[in-house]
Structure 1
Amino acid sequence: MPQSNNTEQKQSTLHTLVLYSLGFLLLWEWLRPLKDLTTTDDIQIFVMYTLFLFIVTYFQLPFWISFPVKLGALFYALHSLYFFDVFLSFKWVPYLIDDIKFNLNLLSDQKWNEMTSLSRSLLFFVLLWLIGYLMHYWLIQTRRIFLFFLITVIYISLLDTFTVYDGKFAIIRTVFVGLLLTGILRMMKIIETEGFSLLKGKFPILWVAPLSGVIALSSALGYVAPKASPIWPDPVPFIKNMSDKGNEKDGPGGKGSVSKIGYGTDDSQLGGPFEFDYTPIFTSNDNGRHYWRIETKEFYTGKGWENKIPIQVISLDANQPSASQTNYTRIWEDGIEMEKKTATVKPMDGKEYPFLMIPGKLTKIVADPSTVFQFDGVSGKTLTFQEERAVKLSEYTMDYELPVLKEEQMKASTNQYPSYITDNYLQLPKTLPQRVKDLSSKITADQPTIYEKVKTVEEYFAKNGYGYNTIDVAVPKKNEDYVDQFLFVDKKGYCDNFSSTMIVMLRSIGIPARWVKGFTPGTFEGMTKDGKREYTVTNANAHSWVEVYFSGIGWVPFEPTRGFTNPVQPQDVKKSSTNAAAPVPKETKKPEKNLDEGTKSGSNGTKSVSLMKMMGYFLVGLLILLALTALFAFLFRKKWLRQYTIWRYKRKNGSDTFEEAFEKLLWLLHVYGIKRQPASTLREYALHVDRSLDSKDMKILARAYEGVQFGPNKRSDLWNDFHRELWENLIKRIRP
């Protein structure tokens, strides 16, 4: 008898290992696309963590052991992604706690896009943990995996259709593993229902081998067989075309067609929706954090921005670029405390621009010696030429300076502006509605200094419920002002709306301001060997912001757009919102991931998605899966309740186990329609059950139960192999 039990235990361990192995391969297909569709590196860490979850679950460790082991593995995986120091030194723990606290504040404010990469990865690991538990539930308890298999096929098909991910071989792998796993579970279902024995060694080898061969042969034949051309056209162009047609019906002042985000040159007509494009543009090794400035514009038309000051083409000395600056391009006045920084820019192949991305006040430019730099003395756009032809540099390094701003210094600034400032940066169209000016005066009337007036306007949008939106954004009609429409009608938009509105409001109360275009800092990727930070800037980082002129200081950047953080802040200013990013230690590799927005562009871009979108796919798929699982569990509860009850009590021991199991049997019989009449005794009901199920086991179990209930001494040995087998046979005989 002991030898038989050992053999059965080995068989059970073997088929459980097979189930977990196939289940992991099926779940792995959800992780494979991340490397192609996101900027996330080290996908293998997520895969290894998922594998570790399956291994720990396979050994069926007690909860008080398995939970801390899985939690420790989660933190170790996070440490491997983001920190360089020794794991057991725990120096990284305070940074992790600070990051979690910071992101909890963001979640409470519903600022999802501002979450740091560290916390996003933490949530993703937790999601994998939950999915691992669900896989255990489907494989071991319910023996049903077809629904997850079907959703996996749909998931891969959608990614293959609408993204750059090639799902041809992924579909083949998924179908093979899914059908094999479904077949094995079905066999086990039949074995458990009919009471077949696993002791003869026929499972899983003699059963699974033919099944695997048939599925493999079918997959191979399907792959090599000639295929007819598709009957339906590619749905992606069709859907985009229909979307564009639908938008065109809006006519002037409507939504317009959806554009790709990126850097563009024409800003005379702002408004309308756009879609994010996460195509990498350039990487930078930098020891400062700043916006990447490209150009400024000073003339607001009521619909967008232009430059009316005549262009001043000036040659730039690469060794002393600041010496060639004009009044319009001088960012900081002399006498301001500055910090020296260095940045190296490396554009991606095919994504080079014939101009520079400026990090601050340039002091030196290092590039190809044959390069000539010319810049517009009005907008500050710096162009690159070689042999009198525009050239796109593959790499360049810039020494630059960033200001050290102090709140007291800015509050002390007066309205004594140079004439070129008042002549060009207080301009407003005559058609600007009076209510824009009235609102600006009203909200700033009680502020004593220029700086406090500027901060009041900057914070006005967040405090009054203006929303960030890139899709439901209108284009102003012929007689409608762009700022007025955003301020009083739509109250939602993206960076162009927020920045333009803040500038117009400031100008209406006599404070000079201008519109700036460029890129946000980008996504932090890690530390270089020389101690600099590496960033990746994509089309999605294209952005517009505000610069305000302060006498004696210069042009100070401000950030009114909801969900964005100004990288240049006065040292002793208490930030009025939680938009500031959590402090990131130098040891971290991948902290905050910006999903930054910007101006429209006609670039084609690529069909790529962010990690946040992938997490969204996972979450939506998981919610759908949970809802469908709950629905199927309820509709087919009579099919799985028996197996779940057997699984729950099969290995349970204790003096009360027999009573609990017998009472659960009575409940199951009632659920499955074998009901006990109110006037019948337990023995009469046992006879009724035996007749209904063609058995003699219920009478024996009922007699033992009565002995426990009415006997003088409570026995603890009734839940033995004999009674357990009778109890299990009765449950297996019950039919839905």
Structure 2
Amino acid sequence: MGKKWVLFAISAFMAFTINESVSRGLASPYSQSAVLALTVLFMLASAFIFKYPWHSAVFIGCGILLWAFAHWHGEKAVHLGDFIGWSVQYISGNERANGYVVPLSLLMYAGISLAMYALAVRFRLFYVAFAIGIGIFAVQWYGFVDRAYTYMLYFVAASLVYCAVFNYPFDNADIRVMGWGFMACAIVMGAVHYMPVKIQPVSWERLSQWVQDTFPVVRTWRGWNDTAGVGFTGFTEGAQWLGGPAVSDNGVALYVKTTADTLYLRGGVYDMYDGKRWAKSGERWVDVQDGFIPKAYSKGVKGRNITVDIMQGPWSTRVLFTVLQPVYVKTPGGAIESDEDLQLRYSRRVSSGFKYTFTAFQPDVDPNAMRAYTSMEVPDSMKRYLQLPDELPQRVKDLALKITEGYKTPFDKALAIEAYLRQYEYNLDVPSTPASRDFTDYFLFELKKGYCTYYASAMAVMLRCVGIPARYVTGFIYRASDSGESAQGGYKAVTDAAAHAWVEAYFPGYGWVNFEPTPFYLPLYYGRSYSAGGATPYGIANGYYSGYSHETFTPDYTQGTNNKGNETQKDSSGENKTYSGTSKSESDKLNKGPEWARGVAILTAGLFALVIFAVWAFRYRKKKPVVPLDPKQRALWQFEEVLAHLSSCGFKMYSGETILEFADRISKHLECEINFRDVAFAFNRVRYGREPQKVDVEMLDSFYQLIKTKNFNS
């Protein structure tokens, strides 16, 4: 079998591993066999393009003209714009799959196959192809495509076989070489599979911090200290990765019209904690009939209904933001779905200008009445909100038990934990959580500072430690006192800087209650719903907060407005209080633009660098065997390189032509000091002789060194 075809087959397999990984990341409908068939088809098409460039140019040009005609005389141009916009958002994780997945997948398969053929087969730039492949797998894995790791192993295995065949000194591939190559691959893959997976990584703190500061998008990638979530780029859907410095912007997220002073607009509710992130244990969505949602509170719970109008800001989502607990939602059409956590979502993604209205029941959480709910028996339906990771350090549980010691009711225990956490320093500029540490444990015992995701996570975990069901909630906090850009019709803006995380705790016989453990915000005024006028924070009045002291932070429970280091806000009594310290308002961070734009910029820069490297490598590479060769093998390898160079200059051997016939035909066209016909005779003597003569070996070497820098015209 010719070496060229073997390399083609291996390159096709390498392209297939990348395409299959990309297919899984894109949620493509194609099966493995279909992806393999498409990859081979696109590889053959690439070979045709490179062999017959003018024919291909005419063919592609006709296709472009037909495509342009269809768009000039129809409505497909709109679809093209929609497809491009959707593709960018979908790859960025901001859109759900639809019919555009098929053309996007085909474009990705074609581009990857063409690049692999050009680099690995046509130009023999294997290391560039290998680097690009590994880069794609790395980006996918950091983007939570778990199968990318497995496909990368197969890609590396195929790369080893490629190297073995490519550096084989003869034109015809020996089956023994292939056998050794596959054996080497099996050994490497087996070793990788059985390597320990919990190896402590080497820490490069200064370099890591510089990269995070320079390229903030890496903070949202898996494996980069496992950081992502609402503290960085506003509200995010999906699993909430925890830890690291906050990077937020001031872009408008929502517009709100209401008479309430404060709203906790919930968008994501999570029940499963694994020490690194919050996620949902399962999603069970049901249609909301006529917009009505059954009330989940007990019949004896008193409260009032409030109505809120929402207008979507300039971003795309299916989430309908409401407060606990929505009872009615009105939209301009389309189905509404709800899950067990009373999250709401629309039937399709909505964007700027979409309006909806919801009515929510707001319970009057009276502290004295809450003490009547003393039961600690948790219904089976609520036990999933007690889940804790097996690896949670015991000292977290011990601390929760110590804080709540002496308090008899679940509500008092919850307030005690909330009060304790509010003494920690509020600070956006925090280091990332070490990879081997539990997020809550690290925050409570070593870091002792953070922002909303730290406090909400710690409170939810500690509530579960003492047997109180709790869930982690993300969304936005709306405060009427905030000055924001207004929209027509009385709407007020809620920016990405208002993205927030808090806790909902469940009390048997009553229902779910909000808690605010983050000291940057006022504690919730139990006893008067969404009204700060004249109310006293329950925890302060009853000694919960004064019962704890913290050496590094004494909280002033104020809602902060940025004032260059000192944040001043009137409290409930009308007095001014100042919050001093190193923490900053979430809106004080510089707006660095949308995450996908930064990601595209980084990938573009990386691809540009790879192109520059490829050009350099192609023009200046010095091909040498990987392993040392004896004089005969080296002489034969050098002659093959001479033939390859002559072929690239237009001097190709005809089918059935011998080396001597080829030399007789082209010698007169080669202007060099050594006659190519003499070199051909030397090659035959070396190839078929038992022991090569030194003079022949030296002639082949001299001609190789002489000709590799020359260009001839056929």
TM-score by length of 1: 0.42
| RCO comparison, higher one (Cα < 8 Å, 6+) | 1
Tell me the TM-score normalized by structure 2.
0.43
